[in-house]
Structure 1
Amino acid sequence: MNIICPTVTASNLHIYREQMERVESFAKRIHIDLMDGEFTNNKSIEIDQVWLPEDMPCDIHLMFQNPERVISDLIKIHPQLVIIQAESTCNFIQFANELHDVGIKAGISVKANSDIASVADYLKSYEHLLIFSGNLGYQGGSTADLSLLGKVEEARIINPDLEIGWDGGVDNTNVAQIASGGVDVINVGGFIQANLEPSKAFHELEKLLTNI
């Protein structure tokens, strides 16, 4: 089953609260971007500033150069899923195991220019693969590179049980094709957050998935 997952990308607490409140009334799952300003050009709020809506499944996409440094902070927040970048510096198996020990799922994200082969050794230890087609650390303004959908089949050959996510450039012109390409979790930033009627935008995307 496909799910539309609004994203929250905030450089300060005011924006974080604003974006979270904009989507939490209709979202079924929320994707939160956190950046360290080292792996990415820009920086988000700190991990200890993050709050999660009650009874809302939340994923954290950690765009950090050294994710292991902050794993204890992530565990305190206890999202349902933590996604780290394949291009970061990390003991990927150990990181996943530490999350699993406290009941948190582990995800790994690959940028457009990263091959599935680069994460093949880790994929069986992870529940989620995020295919990233956007600009790391930014919300909106990117174009969905649909050629990246080829990575879905490559990844599922290695781990058939993987949940597959997509981030970058999703709108009402391509969401159905992304879902048809085997993506389970479709993360959407600007199309929802920048819309004057975010709920309407969300439900428009959901409706486009009904016949898939």
Structure 2
Amino acid sequence: MISEKAASPAFLGERVKLAPSLLSCDFTRLGEELRAIEGADWAHVDVMDGLFVPNISFGLPILAAARRASALFMDVHLMIERPERYLRDFAEAGADGMTVHVEATPHVHRAVGLIRELGKRAGVTLNPGTPLEAVRPVLADVDLVLVMSVNPGFGGQRFLPGSVERVRTLRRWLDELGSAAELEVDGGVTPQNARLLAEAGATVLVAGSSVFGSDGPQAGLSRLREALS
């Protein structure tokens, strides 16, 4: 259960990290877009292979370019089959943390162990239709748990309301373990649901369309910060 301090209005903005999703940025201006989100906590990098999800995004060269352009924590979400094949490559390209899907590999423990051996923060996630019990066996071994609040594969999707209860459940499980792992939410995060997610126990909010909107990333970040204040 979240402590009274953690749930208090004054503490939410301090506790919750914002991670703009580069999937929504303008790739013709990648360096400028990264500079425009200075003040965010992390940069979220969605890697899609067209197999695990029905879309192809970007891979190692884009991550390496982002790493050269920014000192932000690179939070790499691997939506790819058998991610353990590429963990070392992504680590060398500049990932600070890597998150793998339980559905994408039969060897989740091994993948988590490899990420840690590479000196990176290890995360685990699952699709909205996958029971939360699928991640429970590795909760004590990870630095981050990601709740997908849309079906992965495309940006700009509408938030799935049932995700809030999934956040609450995972928050309880992590607290029962005494885990300091981050609890991240990705998909349809807006100023309208950011506070609800934070109060449910999320500590990292990924936002794409809400940040890289028509009035610029700083305005988008400000709206999210205000929602958490």
**What is the TM-score when the length of structure 2 is the normalising length?**
0.82
Please give the residue correspondences for 1:28-177 in structure 2 after superposition, counting only pairs within 5 Å. 28-50=41-63, 51=65, 52=67, 53-145=69-161, 146-156=164-174, 157-158=176-177, 160-177=179-196
Amino acid at match of 2:149: S
Conservation of the 8 A alpha-carbon contact between 2:24 and 2:208 = no
> How many angstroms apart in 2 are the aligned matches of 1:19 and 1:64?
28
> How many angstroms apart in 2 are the aligned matches of 1:56 and 1:97?
24
Conservation of the 8 A alpha-carbon contact between 1:47 and 1:73 = yes
Secondary structure in 1 matching 2:183: strand
Structure 1: any 5+ residue segments left out of the alignment? none
1:3 alignment partner in structure 2 = 17
1:184 alignment partner in structure 2 = 203
Give the superposition deviation at 1:93: 1.6
The change in CA–CA distance for 1:27 and 1:123 in structure 2 (over 3 A counts) is: same
State the identity as a percent. 21
Conservation of the 8 A alpha-carbon contact between 2:125 and 2:147 = yes
Which has a greater percent of helix? Answer: 2
Conservation of the 8 A alpha-carbon contact between 2:192 and 2:227 = no
* Number of equivalences: 209
Give the superposition deviation at 1:11: 11
**What is the TM-score when the length of structure 1 is the normalising length?**
0.88
Structure 2: any 5+ residue segments left out of the alignment? 1-14
2:215 corresponds, among 186, 196, 207, to 196
> How many angstroms apart in 2 are the aligned matches of 1:64 and 1:11?
21
Structure 1 segments of 4+ aligned residues over 6 angstroms from their partners = none
Conservation of the 8 A alpha-carbon contact between 1:116 and 1:154 = no
Amino acid at match of 2:190: D
Q: Deviation string for 1:119-147 (max 9, x for gaps)?
A: 22111111100000113121113224233
The change in CA–CA distance for 1:11 and 1:26 in structure 2 (over 3 A counts) is: closer
Matched, 1:21 2:34: yes
The change in CA–CA distance for 1:11 and 1:193 in structure 2 (over 3 A counts) is: closer
The change in CA–CA distance for 1:67 and 1:103 in structure 2 (over 3 A counts) is: same
Secondary structure in 2 matching 1:190: coil
Give the superposition deviation at 1:18: 7.0
Give the superposition deviation at 1:10: 6.7
Secondary structure in 2 matching 1:58: strand
Q: Deviation string for 1:132-182 (max 9, x for gaps)?
A: 011312111322423333332343134632210001111111111110110
Give the superposition deviation at 1:118: 1.0
